[in-house]
Amino acid sequence: MGIVSFENRRPGWAAGHTPRPVDEESPPRLPSLSLFPLMRTGLFAAMLWTAAALPPTPVQAAISLSQDAQINRGEIVVTLKQAHPIYYLDVYGVVDATPDAVWHAITTYDRYQDFLPMVVESGIRKREPGKIWQYVRMQPPWPLHDHWMVNANVENKRTWNISWTMADGNLRMEHGFWQITPLPSGKTRLQYHLTVDPWLDKVPGWLIELATKTVLPDVIKGVRKRVRTHPHAG
């Protein structure tokens, strides 16, 4: 359930731009000679493939001191950073349960529909050590459209982190993470982050912001309810 800049560029020439004529007398530009050994060995292609496969670094809106105090008082705080059509969403809250109990709740990947907002179906497609492929179908409020995805979840209990990247689905892009922070009181501070391109280019950003800020607090509320109704002895 680093700072990267984005530019709204589209394939092809920009509107009103005329390509510079090619000087027919100029020799064609060749790649730097330093690249030829890499290309010959195939290492250059492997480097490009590796770079393309790396997930984007999450971008998060900074938490102010007053927001941090709100979270510590038990309030739920939502932040949103927008670089249309990409949205960076975060919700924070304190759960009155141990980190183990919260971990147990958010790793019940086949029961998300029982406690997380908008989720109408979830299930596990495949398990590997430290990685779980989870199917999720969601029905968010208008103007968002129904969507589904298969997320590859990577668990790291040593850092109390679960991150995921969409492997398949009908969104253009989606990845995120859960971050658990143990508190001295025995309670747990929980962060849910989502970076998403919901394929809503024609919908005003303010309308999407309104919808997400209305729904996101229910993520924390849902986890709180789950740990109360399904206590974990571990």
The pLDDT tens digits of the residues spanning 137-190 come to 999 877 677 899 999 999 999 999 999 999 999 989 999 999 999 999 999 999
Tally of domains within the chain: 1
In this structure, what CATH number is given to the domain that contains residue 80? 3.30.530.20
CB burial of 59-81 (b: ≥16 within 10 Å; e: otherwise) equals beeeeeeebeebbeeeebbbbbe
pLDDT in tens, 205-231: 777 778 778 899 999 999 999 999 998
Q: Considering the domain boundaries, does residue 138 fall inside one?
A: yes
* DSSP per residue, 103-148: HHHHT-TT-GGGTSTTEEEEEEEEEETTEEEEEEEE-PPTTSPPEE
Say if 19 falls within a structural domain. no
Question: In this structure, is residue 59 part of a structural domain?
Answer: no
**What are 49-86's pLDDT values in tens digits?**
333 333 444 455 678 999 999 999 999 999 988 877 78
Residue 82 lies in a domain: yes
Residue range(s) defining the domain that contains residue 158: 65-229
The verdict on residue 201 lying in a domain is yes
Residue 136 included in any domain: yes
Is 50 part of a structural domain of the chain?
no
Residue 44 lies in a domain: no
Q: Which pTM does this prediction carry?
A: 0.73
